[in-house]
Amino acid sequence: MRILGIDPGLATTGWAVVDFNDNNDPEVVDFGCISTKKGLSVSTRLLEIYQDMEELIAKFEPDLAGVETLIFYNNAKTAMSVGEARGVIRLALEKNNIPIKEFTPLQVKSAVTGYGKADKKQVQENIKVLCSLENIPKPDDAADAIAIAIASSR
């Protein structure tokens, strides 16, 4: 099964494509980030995220997508922009008939480390081990997307 993990954001959306064999062992196919420029209008940035998601879906043909949920932000403006990014991501997935699983950060951490309150370093080290990678994936948003893909496989 091929899973597209997505860590949504307006400035940076992390993504990762992970294949899982019959034993549910993860193999990272590719990962990266969709970055939008701060000076552009929100609408232009959302369009860029949508178009890039369409390209990722066409290129990698995932069977399923995992998307991190919006839970709480101290800054309402940040919450709104992440929510809008999630909306265009979900639209691209729905348009392409990709089933979506959603996870809170706590659920993702628990799936990868067994502990929902694990710190970022623990999550990254576990991703490295679980996926037999030489290095911790960078940037952090892409590493988070790998963790979301792993959570989606469970």
Tens of pLDDT, residues 6-47? 999 999 999 999 999 999 999 999 999 999 999 999 999 999
Give the tokens for residue 72: 């709480």
The boundaries of the domain holding residue 22 are 2-152
Res. 77: pLDDT tops 80: no
What average pLDDT is seen over the chain?
94
Instruction: Identify the sign of the CA torsion 93, 99, 103, 108.
Output: negative
139 upstream amide cis, omega within 30 of 0: yes
Number of domain units in the chain: 1
Indicate the pTM of the whole model: 0.95
- The stretch 45-51 carries a mean pLDDT of 98
pLDDT in the model for residue 74:
66
Check if 84 is active-site.
Answer: no
Instruction: Tell which residue, 88, 86, 91, has the closest CA to residue 103.
Output: 86
Which is it for strands 26-35 and 12-20: parallel, antiparallel or unpaired?
Answer: antiparallel
Say if CB 60 and CB 52 are below 8 A apart.
no
CATH code assigned at 40: 3.30.420.10
- The stretch 50-77 carries a mean pLDDT of 89
Check if 140 is active-site.
Answer: no
Check if 141 is active-site.
Answer: yes
Marked catalytic residue, from 48, 52, 68, 144: 68
Res. 75: pLDDT tops 80: no
